[in-house]
Amino acid sequence: MRILGVDPGSRATGYGMIETDGMRHRTILFGAVTTSARRPFHQRLLEIFEGLDTVLRRHPADVMAIEGVFHSVNVQAALKLGHARGVALVVAALRGLDVREYSPLEIKNAVVGFGRAEKIQVQTMVQLILGLPEIPSPDHAADALAVAICHAHRMKGEDVRR
């Protein structure tokens, strides 16, 4: 099964794709769609759409795992994050992907075993789990890979071979 993990953001939306048989995970690709704060917001959303759609056109996936909504004191930031999430969900729908959403707590628990883990702990575990020579960069890509790993761990017990 191929899982595309997405860490949505209006300035950088991370993506990371893994292939898993339920026990072993292999990295397919990772990166981030970055946008300029100087561009109009609707244009930035289009860039996120086009970037994620290009990834899925070149590397088809079976499911998209995405970080779910979290609470924020900054309403404007939360709204922009919601828009970026919406764009990712539209890409998934257009590509016919099943979507699974996970909270930051669930992701940290699945990857590190501790829901309040620090960012560097998550990144280090992503590197170890996937057998990568270094911590994935940029940070948003490492976070997206963590979302994909979370889904792979949640899928244990189900038949994930395709």
pLDDT at 83: 95
Per-residue pLDDT reduced to its tens digit, 14-37 = 999 999 998 899 999 999 999 999
Tell me how long the chain is: 162
pLDDT surpassing 60 at residue 71: yes
In the chain, % of residues over pLDDT 90:
85
Which residues are known catalytic residues?
7, 67, 139
pLDDT at residue 161 in the model: 47
Which domains, from first to last, does the chain contain?
A: 2-154 (3.30.420.10)
What confidence score (pLDDT) does residue 69 get? 73
The CA–CA distances, whole Å, from 74 to 9, 42, 71, 79, 135 equal: 14, 20, 9, 9, 29
- Residue range 63-89: mean pLDDT, rounded: 88
pTM for this model (two decimals) = 0.94
Q: In what order do the strands lie in the sheet with 98-102?
A: 25-34, 12-20, 2-7, 63-67, 98-102
Phi, psi of 100 (to 5 degrees): -125, 135
pLDDT digits (tens, 9 = 90+) for 106-147: 999 999 999 999 999 999 999 999 999 999 999 999 999 999
CA nearest to 153, candidates 109, 99, 118: 109
